[in-house]
Amino acid sequence: MKKIIYTIITGAALLAGASSCSLDQYPHTSDTAANVYTSAEGYQSVLSGIYAAMIQRISSVSDEERSQNYIRTLMMFQDCSTDACDAIWLSGESLTDVNGLSWNASDSWCSAMYYHIYNIVTMCNDLIKNASDEDLLSRFSESERAVIEGYRNEARFLRAYAYSHAIDFYNKMPFVDENSSIGANIIPETYDRSQMFSYIVEELSEIAPLLEVSNYGHATRGAAYALLARVYLSSEVYTGSADVANYNACITACRNAIECGYSLESDYGKIFNADNHLRSNEIIFALACDASHTTTWDATTFITCGEVLSNFDNYAEIWGTENSGAWNNLRARPDLVDAFQSGDTRARFISYDRTASGTDGSETTYTTTERSKDITAHDDATTGYRICKWTNLNDAGEPASDCSTNGANTDFPVLRLADVYLMLAEAVVRGGTEATMSEALSYVNLVRQRAFGSTDGNIGQDELTLDFLCQERLREMYMECIRRTDLIRFGKYTSGYNWQWKANVYEGADVDSKYRFLPIPEAEYSVNPQTQTINNELGF
C-alpha cells in the first residue's frame, strides 16, 4: 500500500479546469470558501487535487484530443526530443514535431505543456490565497492553522516546481501569484528568465526550512533544496551569466538536501519498480501512483506500458504490465545504448524479440531473435532496443496491478539523491568553490559504484569533465524528464551534437536555436497580445 493516496473530491476538481484566456482560472473565492475552505480537511483535499493533477488527465487543460497528463507531456519534450528515447506513435499522437524538434505555436503538445504548467500554478495560487486569508483562518484553532500553513508551504513548493518548467521552456512567460488581479480582461505581468530565476530562488529559499524533513509523496525540505540546486545549476542558461556565486549556492543547496538524511538505494532497478515507495532513502520527492485509487493511463502507466514492444511473449515477466498488451511506443535511441560500458547495470535494455516455441516439461521454451539497434523507420516498432528501466513489478518480481484495468502502481521519482550528487559535482567542475574536486569525484564514484556493483567503474579526477558529466547524467537519469534541460545547459541540444532522427533526419542534424524554447500557444494571442510578441521575438 502506498503511503499517500491522491483523491480529487468535488471541491478540488473545481480547481482543475484551465481556460486559455488570460489565466483567469480561479474558482470564485466565495464559492470556494463556502464549499471547500471550511475545514483543514478541505484545504487538504485541494492540495491532494494539485498533486493528482500531475499524474491524472485534466480534460480541460489540453486541446490535444487525448489531453495527456503533466508527466506524460513533460517526458515527450524532456526525453523523446533528445538522445534518450524515441516515441513510435508519431502520426497517431502528432509527435513528429516533438520527436524531430520542429514544433510551432499551433502544436497541440506545446499547448498541453503550457496549460499543464499554468493549471498547476493557478491551483496552487488559489490554495495559497485562501490559506493566507485572515477572515477564513480566524475560524480555525491554532493547531488547525498550523496544519493549513503546512499545506500552504507545500503548495508554494509545487508552484515553484511548475514555474521551474516555465523558466526552462520559455524565454518570457506570464507570471501570476496569489496576489495577482484576475479577470477576463486582465493581462498578467510578463517575466523574463532573470526575473523568474530570482522569484523561484527566493521562494524555495524561504520555504525550504518550513517544510517537513520527511513525508513521502509530499513536498519536503530536501525536495525544496534539491529543486533549488537544479535551478541554480542552470543559472547561466536562465540569466545569461556564469556567476560562480550561483554554482556555490548550488553546492550549498545540494549539501542541505544531503543533510536531510538520504542514502543511495543499493539496487538501481528498484528505484523504478512498483515498490519504489520503499525507496524513500534515495527518492527525495515522488509523485505517488496507486493503481487502486488513482487509475490513470498516463504518468507511469504510460511509461511502463509504453516500453512494451510487440513480439515479446510473457512480457509481464519483465515489465509487470499484466494484460495490457504491447503499447509499442517508447524505445531506446542507439545513442543512449552506446553511452554505456559493459557491466553498467543502468543499461536496462533488451536487444531481442522473444517468442514461445514449445514446452520443456512444465516450462515454456522461447526462441530469441536479435533486433537492430538502429531505428530504421518510425511508426514501426520492429527495430530499436527495448527499454526495461521502468516496471510494474513489486520486489517479489510479480505484477503489482492489472495494467489493463487499473494502470501501474509505480511512483514517479521527481528528485533523488543520485541527481543531487551529480549536480554538486557539476557545480564544482563549472567553477564552484564550496566543495573540492576530490569531494565532487567521490560523489560521482558513489553513483558509479552502485551502477557497477564494485569500484570497477570508478573514474579519476582527470576524467571528471563537463563532457563526462553530460553523459553520466544520461546514463543515470534517462527517462526521468530532465535530459533536455541537461543538453541545453551543456550546449548540446540544438547544434554541435546530434542523435539518430534529430531534425527528423536518420543521421541527425542541427536545428534552429529557437527550439531551445517552446512557443506560447496561438490561442493566447487574442487574450494576451504580449504572448504573440514573445513568440515573434524567437522566430515562432
Instruction: Look at residue 230 and tell me if it is in a domain.
Output: no
The pLDDT of residue 3 is above 70? no
Residue 76 forms part of a structural domain: yes
H helices of 54-141, in order, are: 70-78, 96-100, 108-130, 134-137
Over 80: is that where the pLDDT of 461 sits? yes
Same domain, 13 and 157: yes
Instruction: For residue 297, give the C-alpha cell.
Output: 493511463
pLDDT value at residue 19: 37
Average pLDDT over residues 261-278: 98
Q: Are 348 and 387 in contact (CB under 8 A)?
A: yes
Percent of the chain with pLDDT over 90: 82
| Whether 378 and 498 share a structural domain | no
Same domain, 114 and 11: yes
Paired residues of 349 in beta bridges: 387
Give domain status of residue 34, yes or no: yes
**Coil vs helix vs strand at 255:** helix
CB 145 within 8 A of CB 117: no
CA dist 88 → 320, 354, 378, 484 (Å):
21, 20, 6, 19
- Give, as one character, the DSSP assignment of residue 539: T
* Confidence bin at 8 (pLDDT 50/70/90): very low
Using one digit for the tens of pLDDT, what is the confidence trace for 137-193? Answer: 999 999 999 999 999 999 999 999 999 999 999 999 999 999 998 777 789 999 999
Check if the beta carbon of residue 391 is closer than 8 Å to that of residue 400. no
Strand partners, 172: 192
* pLDDT at site 508: 96
Q: What is the pLDDT of residue 59?
A: 63
CATH of the domain at 64: 1.25.40.390
Give me the residues paired with residue 386 across strands.
Answer: 350
Task: Give the model's confidence band at 295: pLDDT under 50 very low, under 70 low, under 90 confident, else very high.
Answer: low
Q: Given this model, what pLDDT does residue 21 score?
A: 38
What is the domain extent for residue 33?
1-175+493-540
pLDDT at 27 over 50: no
Residue type, 233: L
Whether the pLDDT of residue 11 is over 60: the answer is no
Contacts of 29 (CB under 8 A, 6+ apart): 129, 130
Eight-class DSSP state of 220: -
Torsion, Cα 315 318 324 329, to 10 degrees, reads -90
Does residue 240 fall inside a structural domain? no
pLDDT of amino acid 186: 85
Residues 139 and 6 in one domain: yes
Counting other chains too, the contacts that 336-343 makes at CB distance below 8 Å and 24 or more residues apart are 336/83, 336/84, 336/85, 336/474, 336/478, 337/373, 337/385, 339/83, 339/471, 339/474, 339/475, 340/475, 341/457, 343/452, 343/453, 343/456, 343/457
**pLDDT at 236 exceeding the cut of 80:** yes
Is pLDDT above 80 for 54?
Answer: yes
Per-residue DSSP letter, 268: G
Residue 45: which of 3, 6, 18 has the closest Cα?
6
Last residue of a domain, one of 339, 369, 399: 399
Label residue 239 by pLDDT band (50, 70, 90): very high
pLDDT band at 29 (very low <50, low <70, confident <90, very high): very low
- Please compute the mean of the pLDDT values over residues 357-380 and round it to a whole number: 88
**450 alpha-carbon distance from chain centroid:** 23
- pLDDT of res. 13: 37
Judged against a pLDDT cut of 60, whether residue 22 lies above it is answered with no
Selection from 63, 185, 18 nearest residue 528 by Cα: 185
Amino acid 181: pLDDT: 85
378 belongs to a structural domain: yes
Mean pLDDT of 52-69: 70
Residue 34 — very low, low, confident or very high, per pLDDT cuts 50/70/90? low
How far, in whole angstroms, is CA 482 from its chain's centroid?
7
Which residues pair with residue 356 across a beta bridge? 366
Of 343, 372, 399, which one is at a domain's C-terminal end?
399
Whether residues 378 and 500 share a domain: the answer is: no
Q: What would the mean pLDDT of 452-459 be, rounded to a whole number?
A: 98
pLDDT, residue 411, reads: 96
Is the confidence at residue 384, as pLDDT, over 80?
Answer: yes
| Whole-number pLDDT of residue 410 | 96
Q: In sequence order, what are the residues at sequence separation of 6 or more whose Cβ sits closer than 8 angstroms to the Cβ of residue 214?
A: 220, 260, 261, 280
How far is residue 163's CA from residue 124's CA, in Å, rounded to a whole number? 11
Question: What is the pLDDT at residue 357?
Answer: 86
Percent pLDDT > 70 in the chain is 91
Tell me the pLDDT band of 60, cut-offs 50, 70 and 90.
low
Average pLDDT for residues 370-399, to the nearest whole number? 94
Burial 107-140 (b: 16+ CB within 10 A, else e): bbbbbbbbbbbbbbbbbbbbbbbbbeeeebeeeb
Q: How many domains is the chain built from?
A: 2
In this structure, the answer to whether residues 21 and 147 fall within a common structural domain is: yes
User: H-helix or E-strand containing 358?
Assistant: strand 352-360
The per-residue pLDDT for range 103-121, each reduced to its tens digit, is 999 998 999 999 999 999 9
Determine whether 222 is exposed, middle or buried from the number of CB atoms within 10 Å of its CB (0-12, 13-18, 19+).
Answer: buried
Are 386 and 500 within one domain?
no
In a domain, 194, yes or no: no
Residues whose CB falls within 8 Å of the CB of residue 301, separated by 6 or more in sequence, listed in order = 289, 403, 407, 408
Burial label for 28, CB within 10 Å (0-12, 13-18, 19+), is: exposed
> How does residue 211 score in pLDDT terms, banded at 50, 70 and 90?
very high
Q: Which residue has the cell 576530490?
A: 438
Q: How many residues are present in the chain? A: 540
Q: Which triple of cell numbers denotes residue 276?
A: 519504489
**What's the whole-number average pLDDT of the chain?**
91
Flag whether 316 is in a domain: yes
Please indicate, yes or no, whether residues 361 and 499 belong to a single structural domain of this protein.
no
Q: Which of these three, 371, 399, 427, is where a domain ends?
A: 399
Average pLDDT rounded to a whole number, residues 415-427: 98
- Is 272 part of any domain? no
Check residue 278 and report its DSSP letter. G
